[in-house]
Amino acid sequence: MSESSRTAASAAVSTLPRPATYSAALRLLHWLSALCMFIVIPLAWYMTELDRHDPHRVMWFTLHKSIGLTVLVLTLIRIFTRLSGTVPALPARIPAIERALAHIGHGLLYLILLGMPISGYLNSYAGGHPIDWFWLFQVPAMTSPDRPLAHLAGQTHRLLAWATYALIAGHVLAVVYHQLVQRVDVLGRMTGRATPDAENK
């Protein structure tokens, strides 16, 4: 294909109208990730309050780590799927500053969804605690026991936890605000039932 043909093809793709909703794959990945997060966060609160000699403590930690690594895999697939397709634009009725903040918030959420499980993984393995993914197999180790690294990863994990709470709360509140106050159907983009207001018009 000549250079002019490739340029024309690229231009044709870039002028295609954006979809009104996210693809079925991205919607599924989003809701699976959300489900995992709404399980793993309360689980973290519960398990960290357990006595160190509690006979079920290891079980809860294993479950927490397994769900966390599942979030990591889902996020990597989600990023690849998002980059390989077209996603709906935010409705034009939403002010430009709010659209910019939404893009920043989404980017930070992706960083959190990567950073939390990675820091947890490093904290576990550097601390000498292998991870059995849902008791099916042991996750390969990418670091040997390393006390300073375990401390750093643990501190990072705890700091990112607070950022996670803030970003998830902000994300949910923003959706509620757009839906109920601005009357713009942003939720429909992620449920597959977007109304005309949700389209970029």
Give CA–CA dist 184/163, Å, rounded: 27
The burial class, CB within 10 Å (0-12 / 13-18 / 19+), for 70 is: middle
Query: What's residue 112's pLDDT?
Result: 97
Whole-number Å distance between alpha carbons of 15 and 141: 45
Asked if residue 46 has pLDDT above 80, the reply is yes
> Considering all CA atoms of the chain, what is the largest pairwise distance in Å, rounded to the nearest integer?
70
Band (pLDDT 50/70/90 cuts) for residue 195 is low
Strand ranges for the chain from DSSP E: 132-133, 137-138
Q: pLDDT of 153-187, one tens digit each?
A: 999 999 999 999 999 999 999 999 999 999 999 99
Homologous superfamily of domain range 21-189: Transmembrane di-heme cytochromes, Chain C (1.20.950.20)
Mean pLDDT of 89-112: 95
Domain boundaries, the chain: 21-189
Residue 114: both structure tokens together: 């990567």
- 36 pLDDT more than 50: yes
Name the pLDDT band for 198 (thresholds 50, 70, 90). Answer: very low
Across the strands, what pairs with 138? 132
| Model confidence at 66: pLDDT above 90 | yes
Question: What's the pLDDT score for residue 201?
Answer: 42
Tell me which amino acid residue 19 is.
P
